[in-house]
Amino acid sequence: SILVIGSNGQIGTELIDALKVTWPAYQVISCDIRPREQLKGDVFVQADVNDLERLKTIFEQYRIKQVYLLAALLSATGETKPRYAWDLNINGLLNVLDLSVAYRVEKVFWPSSIAVFGPGSPKDDTPQFGEKDPQTVYGFSKLAGEHWCNYYREKYGLDVRSIRYPGLISWKAAPGGGTTDYAVQIFHDAIATESYQCFLSANTRLPMMYMDDAIRGTIELMQTPLEKLKVFRLYNLAGFSCTPGGLAIEISEHIPGFTINYLENDPRQQIADSWPRSIDDSEAQKDWGWQARFDQKTMTSDMIKHLSLVV
């Protein structure tokens, strides 16, 4: 079976559906700390990733072959609860790494983030390697997590693979406390009220990716034969970069009356200013043929098409 921890979250919600394309539904185990009504043909187990004993029973009950650990506190929320963010992001990871070794799990996926980069990193085409001085608990928990994953690879031979996701834009799940989540909320508000109050300044450029690309990239990475993953199994991934101002103009093509205004002094501005403006993902392109398919224009029309049906 495949265990997806954090299945109710922004990535988990969509990853579950994608995994069921290639795996029988009963072998895709959804797991989250928040309860969820039992969907038809869905296997759901409630667990807190920090509860090692509870997790152990799940590893014992199901023959877990792969684990996707998506549970985490994101950058903005993490700054309001720093200790909890560290406990969840790191102890949760260590619980999963230990159980994966103990129960001989074949492959583990753990998402990192462009939040591992900081003010000292190159701002444009930020490379796979180089200076990383993350300023948020979320960012340095992801950087520490990268080192833990590498340690379990080296020491126990565990096949752990990671992607440094940019900000992810999607319509199926609500935004989850991220600094880049303005790029999700703006669509909900544009359709509901034709206006949006943006907590980042108009020219704040950040690396983004449409969820369809992120899910496809994740599955591509996990299906790539190990020998192709040359030097490392942790990849920068890029989609496109955008600014709130540029996104507002794109949205106005679909919603002519759309208006945006900008709030000042939101703490998320400082977080966004510490991150890269764009990412270099040449290693992923080289090692496993990665290629993003969505840009700002196609993402915008897909978001508006879907949200107009559900909002």
Q: Which residue is nearest to ligand VAH (CB)?
A: 178
Please give the DSSP secondary-structure letter assigned to residue 180.
Answer: G
Those residues with Cβ within 8 angstroms of residue 297's Cβ, 6 or more apart along the chain or in another chain: 250
Q: Which is nearer to ligand VAH, 92 or 178 (CB)?
A: 178
Q: How far is CA 50 from CA 62, 93, 303, in A?
A: 19, 9, 34
Amino acid letter at 56?
A: K
User: For 110-170, where are the alpha helices, taking DSSP H only?
Assistant: 137-156
Write the interaction track for ligand VAH spanning residues 139-178; mark x where CB under 6 A is met and - where it is not.
---------------------------xxx---------x
Q: Which is nearer to ligand VAH, 114 or 303 (CB)?
A: 114
- Beta strand 28-32 with 259-262: parallel, antiparallel or unpaired? unpaired
* Cβ-defined contacts of 131-136 (< 8 Å, 24+): 134/274, 135/270, 135/271, 135/274, 136/75, 136/78, 136/79, 136/271, 136/274
Find where tokens 């109710």 sit.
8
26, 62, 68, 138: the active-site residue: 138
Closest CB 115 distance from ligand VAH, rounded Å: 5
* Binding residue for ligand VAH, selected from 15, 49, 85, 115, defined by CB under 6 A: 115
Total binding residues toward ligand VAH, as defined by CB under 6 A: 12
- Beta strand 240-242 with 206-210: parallel, antiparallel or unpaired? antiparallel
Closest CB 164 distance from ligand VAH, rounded Å: 8
* Binding residue for ligand VAH, selected from 66, 141, 179, 236, defined by CB under 6 A: 179
* Binding residue for ligand VAH, selected from 1, 7, 8, 75, defined by CB under 6 A: 75
Tokens of 144: 């520490």
Q: Which is nearer to ligand VAH, 64 or 208 (CB)?
A: 208
Q: At what angle do helices 92-102 and 137-156 cross, to 10 degrees?
A: 20
Q: Which is nearer to ligand VAH, 1 or 13 (CB)?
A: 13
103 flagged as catalytic: no
Q: Which is nearer to ligand VAH, 62 or 138 (CB)?
A: 138
* Binding residue for ligand VAH, selected from 4, 74, 99, 229, defined by CB under 6 A: 74
Phi, psi of 281 (to 5 degrees): -120, 35
Is 5 a binder of ligand VAH (CB under 6 A)? no
Write the interaction track for ligand VAH spanning residues 126-145; mark x where CB under 6 A is met and - where it is not.
------------x-------
* Binding residue for ligand VAH, selected from 30, 141, 180, 243, defined by CB under 6 A: 180
Helix (H) / strand (E) element for 161: namely strand 160-165
Those residues with Cβ within 8 angstroms of residue 109's Cβ, 6 or more apart along the chain or in another chain: 66, 67, 68, 69, 160, 161, 162, 218, 221, 222
* Binding residue for ligand VAH, selected from 7, 66, 113, 162, defined by CB under 6 A: 113
Closest CB 3 distance from ligand VAH, rounded Å: 22
Residue positions annotated with a catalytic role: 138
Task: Please report, as ranges, the residues that interact with ligand VAH according to CB under 6 A.
Answer: 74-75, 113-115, 138, 166-168, 178-180
